[in-house]
Amino acid sequence: MYERYCMRRIELIVAYDGTKYCGWQVQNNGITIEEVLNRELSKLLKEEIKVIGASRTDSGVHSRGNIAVFDTETRIPPEKISYALNEHLPEDIVVQQSREVLPDFHPRKCLSRKTYEYRIWNRRFRNPLNRLYSYFVYTPLDVEAMQEAAAYLVGEHDFASFCSAGSQVTTTVRTLYEVSVTKEDDLITIRLQGNGFLYNMVRIIAGTLVKVGTHAYSPEDVKRILEAKDRQVSGPKAPAEGLTLMKIEIDESEPHYPNPAE
Amino acid sequence: MYERYCMRRIELIVAYDGTKYCGWQVQNNGITIEEVLNRELSKLLKEEIKVIGASRTDSGVHSRGNIAVFDTETRIPPEKISYALNEHLPEDIVVQQSREVLPDFHPRKCLSRKTYEYRIWNRRFRNPLNRLYSYFVYTPLDVEAMQEAAAYLVGEHDFASFCSAGSQVTTTVRTLYEVSVTKEDDLITIRLQGNGFLYNMVRIIAGTLVKVGTHAYSPEDVKRILEAKDRQVSGPKAPAEGLTLMKIEIDESEPHYPNPAE
């Protein structure tokens, strides 16, 4: 039988509008998502709470489904924590789900599949209704060329060309399962799904695909950029407001949830 | 040949995020879209400008394509006014187009077709990324029942049941060409197209359809509500944040643009 600890690990699915935040991780020069969660959870549960985030999103980046875990001795049922916490969170941070996970589950030290969307508003004039959630590009973009370029990125590759300096990873090899470019109305969405993403990887890919869309690069250039393994040859990092972390799916092989049936 | 007057009438297509505004029309208790346009146009063109709006949207209602016209002696080419004005407007108001119209064109005294969308986020938890542009409804809504109910509203009807008190119209008969209800992800969109809309009509229709979605009303009740011609029997007015005026199409029979070919 599953043993119920006095201390339990709780997982939160966290959605946020990143506009006003200096990203996820606690830092000195502004308020962060992690900080607000720590503060409000500590107040609610009356113990000091420190969350561990799955993805340390950058300043201004949005989320529909980041994951945070924390340990608590509370007797509030795990599923109810989301409702109680949302009562106290600002309206730009909303917990979508809370549940108990295994005590040693760590959202950054497990196999997972992350999905990001990068949105571009491609029209002569800005749209005030999506200005906070998309990158405004005035120049008409060639979506077919962007799609052709995106196809080169699918699969296992060394994405060193798409990684900002300052990252401390042991390998820059990652696998992308999907890189799609779709257009609806004047909104272009680049959707990426992969087993991991390097520092600024999605935004550098987006910036590079925009260069393809303006014909500054050819689709084949993206293949060459990938092979060069050099950040100097890829496009600029696209702005934060266009980026949303959509979801994180933990690999089924990972010990994650306590199994009440055992 | 078309005679170029010293004084010309200019038409603007105006998009705005209505969140921070007390609606379109100038009033005392807060800033309005009309007021900002008058102020910035007057500064830009160095003459006193008063715009006439096609639709006096309520406090908190958004727009992708409201129409405003004004008269000016400026020598700035009509098409360039949008760019010059956008430089001075706040980021939540963006002019999408400017062009010259006939001097007697009046956007409220002409035949037109207006399209509105009312958005409902229908999920257990709020979505912080669309909180400003949709109405959050926790209860799962029956979209098929809403579609069935919406069908009763299409056509020429007396919409007295869907008109707030305080309106000073001579007739409450209007024609709706389209009332559709679609769902994508957890977002339900009610789209309405008609030759005119009464005071709060879209929001009362949306509030009534939500009642159908929760099974508080049956689809057939909407037929009875319509026939009753009584605001007391329809549903509540749905909140402003869900409503966006999408576009206004001036009827082709209306004298609208100067014809440079003549």
> What CA–CA distance (Å, rounded) separates A80 from A92?
20
Between positions 35 and 54 of B, the ones with CB within 8 A of A are none
Over residues B91-133, the pLDDT tens digits come to 999 999 999 999 999 999 999 999 999 999 999 999 999 999 9
Query: How is residue B210 written in tokens?
Result: 């939500």
Asked whether the predicted pLDDT for residue B14 surpasses 50, the reply is yes
Check B125 against A62: CB less than 8 A apart. Answer: no
> What CA–CA distance (Å, rounded) separates A146 from A182?
9
Q: Which positions in chain A touch B64 (Cβ < 8 Å)?
A: 127, 129
Q: Is B58 a catalytic residue?
A: yes
Q: Return the minimum-mean-pLDDT range out of A70-74, A177-181, B1-5.
A: B1-5
pLDDT at residue A167, rounded to an integer: 73
Contact yes or no for B127/B186 (Cβ under 8 A): yes
pLDDT at residue A2, rounded to an integer: 52
Query: How is residue B133 written in tokens?
Result: 């542009």
pLDDT at residue B6, rounded to an integer: 83
Check B64 against A125: CB less than 8 A apart. Answer: no
Q: Does domain B112-247 have CATH number 3.30.70.660?
A: yes
Beta strand ranges found along A22-85 (DSSP E) = 52-53, 62-72
Over residues B84-102, the pLDDT tens digits come to 999 999 999 999 999 999 9
Over residues A216-235, the pLDDT tens digits come to 999 999 999 999 999 999 99
Q: Are strands A52-53 and B155-158 parallel, antiparallel or unpaired?
A: unpaired
Asked whether the predicted pLDDT for residue A260 surpasses 70, the reply is no
Over residues A137-186, the pLDDT tens digits come to 999 999 999 999 999 999 999 999 999 987 778 899 999 999 999 999 99
- Residue A25 CA to its chain's centroid (Å): 13
How many residues are given for chain A? Answer: 262
Distance from CA of A219 to the nearest CA of B (A): 31
Which of the following is catalytic: B17, B58, B185, B221? Answer: B58
Question: Measured between CB atoms, which of B96, B97, B129 is closest to A17?
Answer: B129
Distance from CA of A92 to the nearest CA of B (A): 5
Does the CB of B19 have a partner CB in chain A at under 8 Å? no
Domains B8-109 and B112-247 share a fold: yes
- DSSP conformation class of B109: S
Over residues A129-151, the pLDDT tens digits come to 999 999 999 999 999 999 999 99
Q: Which residues contact B224 (CB under 8 A, 6 or more apart)?
A: B233
Check A127 against B62: CB less than 8 A apart. Answer: no
Check A127 against B86: CB less than 8 A apart. Answer: no
> What CA–CA distance (Å, rounded) separates B142 from B251?
35
Q: Which positions in chain A touch B86 (Cβ < 8 Å)?
A: 125-126
Which of the following is catalytic: A58, A158, A221, A230? Answer: A58
For A244, the 3-state DSSP assignment is strand
Over residues B134-158, the pLDDT tens digits come to 999 999 999 999 999 999 999 999 9
Q: Which of A91, A123, A129 to probe the B interface (max B CBs under 10 A)?
A: A129
Q: Where are the domains of chain A?
A: 8-109, 112-247
Does the CB of A134 have a partner CB in chain B at under 8 Å? no
φ, ψ dihedrals at A137, nearest 5°: -120, 120
Candidates A75, A55, A50, A47; CA nearest to A14 is A55
Instruction: Indicate the average pLDDT of chain A.
Output: 94
Q: Does domain A8-109 have CATH number 3.30.70.580?
A: yes
Q: How far apart are the first and last CA of chain B?
A: 5
Contact yes or no for A9/A90 (Cβ under 8 A): no
Q: Which positions in chain B touch A117 (Cβ < 8 Å)?
A: none
